[in-house]
Amino acid sequence: MSVAFHIVVCGSLVPDPLQTLTPVMGADGPALKNELMLPAVLDPFAAHALYEAANLVKKTPGSKIWLVSLGNKAKLQQMMMTVAQKVEFELVALDGSASGFTDSFETAAALAGAIGAIPGLECERLLLFGGCASASRDAGTTLQMVGERLGLADQFLAVDELEVQEDGSLKIWERIEGGSYQVSVCAGAPAVLGWATGNLPEPPNNPQIGMKNMRTVMPALQRAAKVPLAAGAAFAAVELPAQQRQTRIVKDMPVDEIAQEIVDWLKK
């Protein structure tokens, strides 16, 4: 049985992981030094969710993807120049902070409001995709709270594989401890899936898809609503962790003594 899905992918920008990030205390709270100057990429976990959504759309004709992103409008436009060439989607943009210092509760409220206002979105067909965590804020709670606000009770986190079965049900592989998987069967949409790394490669750039997406991306960025997000906690200071290195070269030391020495050092 062929089922058409309405797939909403929540994913925003993060600083390029190859950059050196220096936290500073700004006028509005903690931030990153020269944050607006740092090159940005789509959050890696959200990127996997987007690629999995595109793969699912290929297998289920009539399905559609919306990418909901909350971030600085100018940085989103820069990021979309690359992301728009990967997968065909319709952008829903929110102009606000994508900082790792914001509260995931407020972020979830803004995302849920934007998703609920998408014209033509049918909740009974909705699959809410996103990363199981974030490269900028590893809270692992945002997607769950978005799902709760939208009334989606069936939630699966750390998903690596999704299979739509003949009866329309969803067979889902979730990562658990020990390198094993928990395999669940969901009756179908609506559902929330927080993706881990999946097993799909990054799609190649396709300029034709990029040009098609940019026809809707630019208007979406122009009408992006401003979302004020306050820091979720009071920060007395922000700084890089202090580096500590104590090296000692010892030959022919028994393994048990090495392990015990490490344990004693950790206890200190």
Q: Quickly list H helices, 16-172.
A: 44-59, 73-83, 104-116, 142-149
229 CB-near residues (< 8 Å, 6+ apart) = 96, 97, 102, 103, 106, 107, 110
Task: Dump pLDDT digits (tens) for 128-162.
Answer: 999 888 777 666 788 899 999 999 999 998 899 99
Residue 132 to residue 140: CA distance in whole angstroms: 6
Residue 123 to residue 245: CA distance in whole angstroms: 54
- Identify the band that residue 53 occupies on the pLDDT scale cut at 50, 70 and 90: very high
Task: Dump pLDDT digits (tens) for 154-201.
Answer: 999 889 999 999 888 999 999 888 788 899 999 988 999 999 887 888
Nearest to 5 by CA among 143, 190, 149: 190
pLDDT value at residue 106: 86
Whole-angstrom CA distances from 127 to 11, 53, 114, 238, 264 are: 14, 9, 15, 37, 49
Task: Dump pLDDT digits (tens) for 215-242.
Answer: 889 999 998 888 887 655 666 776 777 7
Helix (H, G, I), strand (E, B) or coil at 227: strand
On the 0-12 / 13-18 / 19+ scale of CB atoms within 10 A, 59 is exposed
Reduced 3-state DSSP string for 130-166: EECCCCCCCCCCHHHHHHHHCCCCCEEEEEEEEEECC
Name the pairing type of β-strands 13-15 and 40-42.
antiparallel
What is the number of other CB atoms lying within 10 angstroms of the CB of residue 77?
17
On the question of pLDDT at 103 being above 90, the answer is: no
Output the pTM of the full model: 0.82
249 or 183: which leads in pLDDT? 183
CB 75 within 8 A of CB 18: no
Radius of gyration of the CA atoms of the chain, in A: 21
**Peptide linkage before 17 cis (omega within 30 of 0):** no
Q: Indicate if the alpha-carbon torsion angle 154, 189, 203, 98 is positive or negative.
A: negative
Q: What's the whole-number average pLDDT of the chain?
A: 86
Task: Give the HSE-up count for residue 154: Cα atoms under 13 Å, Cβ half-sphere.
Answer: 16
Whole-angstrom CA distances from 71 to 101, 207, 226 are: 13, 24, 10
Q: Place domain 6-227 in its CATH homologous superfamily.
A: HUPs (3.40.50.620)
Residue 167, both tokens: 């009866």
Q: How many residues does the chain have?
A: 268
- Identify the band that residue 67 occupies on the pLDDT scale cut at 50, 70 and 90: very high
